[in-house]
Structure 1
Amino acid sequence: MRPRPFTLAAITRRERHQAVGAVIDAIMDAGGWLVDSTQFSNLAMALRFVLPADGLAGWAAALAAAGVRLDEDSRARLAAHAAGAGAPEAEVPAALNLTFLHDEPDLRQVVPAVPG
């Protein structure tokens, strides 16, 4: 049975391309890899990734250093997971819902008409 993803949420005021790059760099530096990402306009993005269990704390610290702040609930879940962690090399599937705080107008996505 596949483990359920460890879901986290964060916010940032950084420019979205820089913030997403910092999150991906933190994943790679922690020994993980990106599985999937979905952008919801320029207001939010969801990233699915996998990290080794012993890389979670370093990943969270790298996010904080990059100006991407996990919410309180996510920080509490990370602490609880670290306290009950099993093997350090175990893979932890995770998902991050990232919200961008800015004054830019909404990004419009052009959806082409499908003939039919």
Structure 2
Amino acid sequence: MRDKRNFLRLDLTTKMDRTQTLTVIPRLINGCGGWIIDHTLFSNISASIIFEMPLAATGDLLARMEAAGYRPNLRDEYPTGTEGDVRGSVAITFIHDEPDMKRDVPAFG
């Protein structure tokens, strides 16, 4: 079982443009030597990004997010150590007054 201290869980709430944010956050992760494992979009209200990155670069990621105008909230204890990789997630909530995005769901079955 993975030590929960070696999982970086971040929450972001932002009024910044959704498309811009969904471009910037992965670039920040990549810029710290990380890579995106998965993502999920929940209409235009929220998104979740799952990633892995070098454990030693977690402080750099938080600093880069702050410098880009985001204020990430750490949900658990800060990951410990400097060796190896850490898996993480960013849960993003978008604050706006746009209507929900409607997406066609294909028929199945």
Shorter-chain TM-score bucket reads 0.7 to 0.9
Equivalent in the alignment of 1:49 = 51
Give the partner amino acid of 2:106: P
Distance in 1, matches of 2:8 and 2:67, equals 21
Equivalent in the alignment of 2:42 = 40
Residues 1-116 of structure 1 aligned to structure 2 (within 5 Å): 1-2=1-2, 4=4, 5-71=7-73, 74=74, 77=76, 80-81=77-78, 85-86=80-81, 88-114=82-108, 116=109
Q: Could you list the runs of 5+ residues in structure 1 that have no partner in the other structure?
A: none
Superposition RMSD in Å: 1.8
Distance in 1, matches of 2:83 and 2:44, equals 35
Q: Could you list the runs of 5+ residues in structure 2 that have no partner in the other structure?
A: none
Q: Which has the higher helix share?
A: 1
Give the partner amino acid of 2:64: A
3-state SS, counterpart of residue 96 of structure 1 = strand
Structure-2 change in CA distance of 1:17 and 1:106 (3 Å): same
3-state SS, counterpart of residue 88 of structure 2 = strand
**What is the CA-CA distance between 1:113 and the residue it aligns to?**
2.0
What is the total number of aligned residue pairs between the two structures? Answer: 107
Give the partner amino acid of 1:81: Y
Normalised by the length of structure 1, the TM-score is: 0.81
Q: Is the 8 A contact 1:13 1:67 kept in 2?
A: no
Normalised by the length of structure 2, the TM-score is: 0.86
Q: Is the 8 A contact 1:38 1:46 kept in 2?
A: yes
Distance in 2, matches of 1:81 and 1:59, equals 13
